[in-house]
Amino acid sequence: MRIVYVLTSLGVGGTERLVLALATRMAERGHPVALLVLRPRLDEECSTALDVVHLDLRKGPISLMKALLSARSFVLRFQPGIVHSHGFHANIFARLLRLLLPGPAVVSTIHNVYEGGRLRMLSYRLTDGLSAKTTAVSTAAAETFIRLKAVPRARCIVLTNGIDSAEFSPDAERRVAMRTAMGVGDEFIWLAAGRIVPAKDYPNLLRAFSLLRATHPSAQLWIAGAGDPAAAKQYSLFAAVRGLVRQARWLGLRRDMPAVLDAADGFVLASAWEGMPLAVGEAMAMEKPVVATDAGGVRELVGDVGVMVPAGNANALAQAMLDLMNRSAQERQLLGRAARARIEAGFSMEARVDQWEALYQSLARRG
C-alpha cells in the first residue's frame, strides 16, 4: 500500500512530529511513503529520511494552480492508494487535488477544535465529498466540526494521537545532567512547550506564574517552542513587566525534549484552544504531573491523572500550580507514574499505527 502524506509545512510542531512518526512507522512496515509539503523549506524543520516534495505554495490562485499541477504530476508517478492530509490548508489542498486524480482515497485529519472561521468551515462542507473519510484527533474536535456542519457525523471518526513511550521515558541521570547544564539546583521547574502562537495563551500562563511567585519566589518557568519572533518579543516584554525576566526562561526550539522534560518538576498547559496536544502526552509519558486548561481534547488525554482548570483563568491556573507544588514529592511521583500508565494503556503509538493501517487498507480496498 503506497501512502502520500500532505502537510502545510515541516516546522517543528506537534502536528508535524506526529505525522512524521506515523509516516516513518508505515515505512518501517513496508509501505512506500512520501511527503507532500505545501510551503517552501523553513530554516528550522523536522528532519526525516523519507522522500519529501516541497510544493513552494504561496498566496494567490496562480501559485495554487502551479502547486496542484506539481502535486498531480508527483502523485501520478508515485501511484499511492492513500493520500492522508493534516490541518486545514493541507486538507483542502488534498481534496482539490482529488478533482485532478480520480484514483487515491483521501483521508483528512482535523487537529484542533478551531481551524478558522465560517469561510473555512464552509470550505470543509463544500469539499467533504472529495474525502473518503475525515478523522479528528479528539472527540472534542470531532463534535465541534460536526456541530458547525463542516463534516457529517457519519463520515467522521476519532483517532487520537499516539505517544512514543519508548522515546519519552524518564531517566534520572539525564535529569541531573540537564538541571546542572541549566544552572538550577532545588528550584521547582515548571515546563510549558508549544509554538509561540495565540492558541497557547502564554499571557495567561505568565499571569498565573507571576501570581504563583508570591508564594514560591524561587520557582522557574521554562517555555520551549519556536514561533513568530515578533510574538516571542512581545511575550518577553510581557514577562519583563511582571518582573519575570530571570524566572521565565524562553528556551526556543529544542530538539532534546525528553531531556528538557526530565529536568522539569511539573508540566503546565495554558491553551485557549486545542485538539489533543502532543506535548501533554509526552510529558505524561515522562511521568510529569500535569496542570492544564480544559481546552479541546485535553481532558480526554489527561483524564483523572492531572489537574484541569478553565481556560483563560489565570487565578485558577496559579492555584492549581500552587496546589501541586505543595504536595509531597512522593505524591507528585505517584501522580506522574499514573500519568505514564495512562499513556501506555490508552495512547500507545503502535496501537494507533495499527488503527491507521487498518483504516487505510479498508479505504484502499473500497477504492
Percent of the chain past pLDDT 90, that is, above it, reads: 86
More reliable by pLDDT, 240 or 358? 358
pLDDT value for 232: 67
pLDDT for 328-356, tens place per residue?
999 999 999 999 999 999 999 999 999 99
Which amino acid is located at 156 in the chain?
C
Please give the pLDDT value at position 46.
86
| pLDDT higher than 70, residue 242 | no
- Confidence (pLDDT) at 280: 98
The residue to which cell 489527561 is assigned: 302
For 123-151, what is the mean pLDDT? 97
Domains 3-162+348-366 and 172-346 share a fold: yes
State the pLDDT confidence band at 245, using cuts at 50, 70 and 90: low
User: How confident is the model over 78-93, as a mean pLDDT?
Assistant: 97
119-123: average pLDDT: 97
Place 243 in a pLDDT band, splitting at 50, 70 and 90. Answer: low
Domain 172-346 classified CATH 1.50.10.10?
A: no
In eight-state DSSP terms, residue 63 is H
The pLDDT assigned to 364 comes to 86
State the amino acid at position 261 in one-letter form. Answer: L
Euclidean distance between CA atoms 242 and 237, whole angstroms? 9
In the sheet with 189-193, reading across from the earlier edge strand, the strands are 248-252, 220-224, 189-193, 266-269, 290-293, 307-309
H helices present in the chain, as ranges: 14-28, 61-78, 88-100, 118-127, 139-147, 172-181, 202-212, 229-241, 257-263, 278-285, 298-302, 314-326, 329-346, 349-366
Quote the percentage of the chain above a pLDDT of 70. 95
Report residue 238's pLDDT band, with 50, 70 and 90 as the boundaries: low
Q: Give the tens place of pLDDT for each residue, 2-27.
A: 999 999 999 888 899 999 999 999 99
pLDDT at 44 (0 to 100):
82
Query: Whole-prediction pTM value?
Result: 0.93
pLDDT, position 196: 87
Cβ atoms of residues 112 and 298 within 8 Å: no
Asked if 315 contacts 211 with a C-beta cutoff of 8 angstroms, the reply is: yes
Query: What was the pLDDT predicted at 42?
Result: 87
Interval 137-151 mean pLDDT: 97
Q: In the CATH hierarchy, which top-level class contains the domain 3-162+348-366? A: alpha beta
Residue-wise pLDDT for 53-69, tens only, equals: 999 999 999 999 999 99
pLDDT at site 253 = 87
Model confidence pLDDT, tens digit, residues 165-203: 999 999 999 999 999 999 999 999 999 999 888 899 999
The domain spans of the chain are 3-162+348-366, 172-346
Return the pLDDT at 12: 82
Per-residue confidence (pLDDT) for residue 227, from 0 to 100 = 74
* Closest listed residue to residue 18, CA positions, set 352, 367, 314, 325: 352
Q: Which letter, b or e, does each residue of 299-310 get, where b requires 16 or more Cβ atoms within 10 Å of its Cβ?
A: bbbbeebbbbbe
pLDDT reading at 367 higher than 60: no
Reply yes or no on whether the pLDDT at 266 is more than 70: yes
